[in-house]
Chains A and B, each alone.
Chain A
Amino acid sequence: MEAIGRSVPKKESFDKVAGSAMYTADRIEPRTLHARLTISPFAHARIAAVDASEARRSPGVRAVLTGDASDVLIGEEIRDRPVIARDRVRYNGEIVAVVVADTEAEAMRAANLIRVRYEPLPVVNDPVEALRPSAPILHEKLAEYQKGEGVVSIPGTNVASIIRVLKGDMDRGWAESETIVENRVSFAPSDHAAMETRSASAEIRPDGHVIIETSTQVPFAVKKFMARYFGIDPGWIVVRTPFVGGGYGGKTAIQLEAVAYLASRAVGGRKVKLVNTREEDMLTSPVRIGLDATVRLGSTRDGKIRAAQIVYRFDGGAYNDKSSDVARAAAADCSGPYGIEHLHCECLTVYTNHTFPAAFRGYGHSELTFAMERAIDALADELKMDPWELRMRNAAVPGDTAPTRDRLTPSNLGDIRTCLNRVRSLAEWDDWQVRQVNEHTVRAKGIACFWKNSSMDTDATSGAILLFNSDGSVNLVTGVVEIGTGTKTVLAQMVAERLRMSVDRVHVKFTVDTLDTPEHWKTVASRGTFLAGRAALKAADDAIRQLKSIAAVVLRADPDDLELAHDKVFVRADPAVQIAVKDICYGYKYPNGNAIGGQIVGRGYYTQRRMNPLNPATGEGTPGPEWNVGAQAVEIEMDTRDCSYRLVKAISVNDAGKVLNPKGALGQVTGAMAMGLSYASREAFYYTDNGTVLNPTLRDFTLLRFGENPEYVVEFIENPCLDAPFGARAMGEHGLIAMPAALASAVSRAAGVRLNRLPLFPETVWRAKNGGIG
């Protein structure tokens, strides 16, 4: 009967293997019109003229929209982005025109007939270039844009956001340091590459309701921001999201929804559907952020880090959207899981002529971790110390403070030391030095640690509803989007555990419909089990109270004397006095026909306690609830002739707090590990000097494929988080975070050269080894 800690298969399993699970673009309706995009082939250009006359005459075309369709600027942190480019394009792939036609093929044909005359402008191709005084300024109106709380821009430059995180006294820190190292890392933007490309449809009903169906992780944010952007009261907007075919943070930005809405408005409110092609999904829709970072560490001779100075130059892309917030999350946790007393971090998010970024699994943390862990390896080299030992000596413990000056406790901080100890033994770290396998082959290992806090709005809330069926089973309704993490199954397990019933009798509503689903802030930041879990448990408690109060009347007993278990309410001291839940969950009917009560509906909500935003000038604040940690290792085998390498083994030890669904948790962690390894070894966009993307397809943007993965070793330790349901800590992103750093560590060791740039293509490694740059 126990539901928690059991590998309950995903509730939607049979639908998914039968092909009947519906994703946004699977809704096929003859009345729907179809939209296709014309996108910019330039990274930066003035739009001199758009001639849509031929497109308008093309068969089946119902409307053509260009930049003048709307002057609304959108963007979550800074409202700097037109829905359709006006006058100027700032990235390769930016939407220049939208065609609406009866069929997709007709829309596509017409989109190709739109003639745009561009006048190319000089391009900003990376964040370092963006900061040069001579760089073209991408947003002259930066001062005028509406900005979110805590966003500090520097108008007249390309700095969209600047944040400083300061702690302790740097002069003292450097004075106490006997060894100082500086290390610089960089990587270009890359793609989430979810197998389902993004899609959205919009319809404006005759009564004024705006109905949006979208492949998103954030239906409630879509509702909120669409209301704000287009001046519609939120009650008139309904957002629906069925299953989502992978998100990884990429489906958190609002983009196609606004396009579909404008398109629908242009055709009298008819339903318009827009599905990204793969190329658009990679070029036009948001990517993963790029970074160039410098980390300077000062330490005593015996390896106690006294000072850290960190500069982040995040590639914020052509429009800010969430990039400054991803950067903020990185800055807030910039030290990694180490207790460093004296700290100075300057975090810049700059405009470039690249596609704008969205959240990406880890939300700034694999980025900060790569920068910090590579510096720690450099320090270990300098100190001639075992890199594991160096990490162990500096691991953060309760009593230390975070960069935000939050005090760390056993509950809000995972147990990094135990993770490190376990990784040491699983990785057989004692022989961590490079091992010669044969003449041309070496084996090498790398380790890295991570921590991650979850960034969220300080008032982020989640709700849950439990509706009883007449057979005593329940329907669970929450606003969590099922993006593949199995969260809704885990929530059902929690409810079953609390109601002491079989998880098979907890039915789950998968589609989120903002009309009748309680709000769940966003399906991001691995917060589903925490926020919605607390809400679902409250809803269960609410239902239990109601069941007991009606049972008390029927059984003529005090409600406090009653227990609920095995689909019955009974007197604790005399279980024979009992009534079945199914006989009271729709009210109770006496033998003579009289009835009392009604359908039991449990409800609950949860909001995180005592959160406050980060002060952008000092970094003080409590932007997240707890730091979850882990230690990871990678072993590779390298052919020293050409630097090609094979992933042999990848190890992750995570502090899970409590493992709620073992197989599900394992899948989350190994999936994230694979993504981290794939990202670090082969994924990046390649830009021409003109800022256009060379590889916007899955043929030349290569992802890890079957059989290229290493052997995975995953272990969980369980050091509970007191606030979390059953003590469970966040899990969905954490397997990824230190993988790039651990891989770079192993590959560097094997090649005998310090590698600080991703991805680690054999050719890149070979060049670095043979005197080029890594």
Chain B
Amino acid sequence: MKLELNVNGEVRHADVRPAELLLDVLRENFGLTGAKPGCRNGDCGACTVTVDGWPMKSCLMLAVEAAGKAVQTVEGLGGTPEQTAFVEKFAFQCGYCTPGFIMNVHALRRIHPQADEAAVRDWLQSNICRCSGYEEIREAVECVLRSRPPADNEP
């Protein structure tokens, strides 16, 4: 079936099976391989993208469900504070989990700019990093949430 998707602010067309996952359409049809398969079962978070600004495991969403919504992948970010913080804090090793974490944190910053420790933990538990001990990721998230202009920081 023919599908029109809005990905990273661009209108994209694809001819897909109705059962196709968003993850596979992003990767196979659009070459957006920043979204990674790690389990295709919702367990690892490596495939996380945002849909209308909310983090979404793209292995748990059919491509057709994303029609009419704004999909963003790591390729569409282009130098956000999350990306800089992950580099500065050494928040990855093999980097395979990184796009998923970054998309999750990106959405977190938009939706819960004042997220406290418990909220951060809640959100980030949906992603697995097998290389790091999570400490550098925590530092990167903290740096992203805390580095906004001071006025925004007030409750």
Contacts and interface: CB of A to CB of B under 8 A. Distances in A.
B102 to A, nearest CB: 6
A663 interface: yes
Interface stretch (A7-15, A332-340, A377-385): A7-15
Nearest to B46: A195
A271 to B, nearest CB: 15
Contact of B134 (A20, A28, A698, A706): A706
A195 B128 contact: yes
Interface of A is mostly: loop
A17 B94 contact: no
- Number of contact residues on A: which range applies? 35 or more
Given A195-B44, A667-B132, A698-B39, A19 B34 contact: yes
B77 A18 contact: yes
A675 to B, nearest CB: 7
Interface string B86-112: 111010111111110010000000000
Given A706-B121, A709-B134, A667 B93 contact: yes
Contacts of A698: 38-39, 41, 43-44, 128
A16 B130 contact: no
A697 B96 contact: no
A17 B137 CA distance: 13
B127 A17 contact: no
B128 A194 contact: no
Nearest to B44: A698
A454 to B, nearest CB: 20
A18 B87 CA distance: 11
A105 B28 contact: no
The residue in A15, A245, A668 that gathers the most chain B C-beta atoms within 10 A of its C-beta is A245
A18 B136 CA distance: 18
B36 interface: yes
A712 B138 CA distance: 13
A313 to B, nearest CB: 28
A500 interface: no
B33 A7 contact: no
B39 A706 contact: no
Interface stretch (A148-156, A368-376, A480-488): A480-488
B131 interface: yes
A17 B132 contact: no
A707 interface: yes
Given A17-B86, A19-B33, A486 B93 contact: yes
A153 B128 CA distance: 40
Contacts of B86: 17
A706 B124 contact: yes
Contacts of A705: 124-125, 128, 134
A699 interface: yes
A223 to B, nearest CB: 23
Given A195-B128, A246-B130, A697-B43, A17 B102 contact: yes
A158 interface: no
Contacts of B46: 195
A28 B25 CA distance: 12
Interface string A23-67: 101101000000000000000000000000000000000000000
A277 B90 contact: no
Contacts of A255: none
A524 to B, nearest CB: 15
Given A19-B73, A675-B130, A697-B43, A667 B136 contact: yes
B7 to A, nearest CB: 13
A20 B90 contact: no
B95 A18 contact: no
B95 A21 contact: yes
B5 to A, nearest CB: 17
B94 A196 contact: yes
A194 B94 contact: yes
Nearest to A26: B33
B132 A671 contact: yes
Contacts of A275: 37
A21 B102 CA distance: 14
Given A22-B33, A278-B39, A674-B134, A17 B98 contact: yes
Nearest to A196: B96
A252 interface: no
Given A9-B90, A28-B28, A698-B43, A245 B128 contact: no
A346 to B, nearest CB: 34
The residue in B37, B46, B82 that gathers the most chain A C-beta atoms within 10 A of its C-beta is B37
Interface in B23-40: 27-28, 31-40
A97 interface: no
B74 interface: yes
A105 B95 contact: no
A195 B138 contact: no
Contacts of A666: 90
B129 interface: yes
B9 interface: no
A13 B41 contact: no
B74 A7 contact: no
B135 interface: yes
Interface string A665-681: 01110110111000000
Nearest to B77: A18
Nearest to A30: B28
Contact of B87 (A14, A486, A709): A14
Nearest to B28: A28
B133 interface: yes
Contacts of B95: 12, 15-17, 21, 243, 245, 484
Given A19-B33, A19-B75, A245-B96, A707 B88 contact: no
Given A17-B102, A18-B77, A486-B93, A706 B137 contact: yes
Given A22-B33, A278-B40, A712-B135, A193 B99 contact: no
Contacts of A196: 36, 38, 94, 96
Interface string A175-207: 000000000000000000111110000000000
A269 interface: no
B17 interface: yes
- By Cβ-Cβ distance, the 9 closest A-B pairs, closest first, are A19-B34, A245-B96, A484-B94, A484-B93, A16-B95, A674-B133, A19-B74, A670-B133, A707-B121
29 contacts: A9-B88, A17-B86, A17-B95, A18-B77, A19-B35, A26-B27, A26-B33, A28-B31, A28-B33, A196-B96, A197-B37, A245-B36, A245-B96, A246-B96, A275-B37, A278-B43, A278-B44, A484-B92, A485-B93, A486-B93, A667-B93, A670-B136, A671-B132, A698-B41, A698-B128, A699-B41, A703-B128, A706-B134, A712-B135
Given A705-B124, A706-B137, 10 more contacts: A10-B90, A15-B95, A16-B95, A17-B102, A19-B74, A105-B17, A244-B94, A278-B39, A666-B90, A667-B136
Interface of A: 7, 9-10, 12-23, 25-26, 28, 105, 193-197, 243-248, 275, 277-278, 483-486, 663-664, 666-668, 670-671, 673-675, 697-699, 703-707, 709, 712
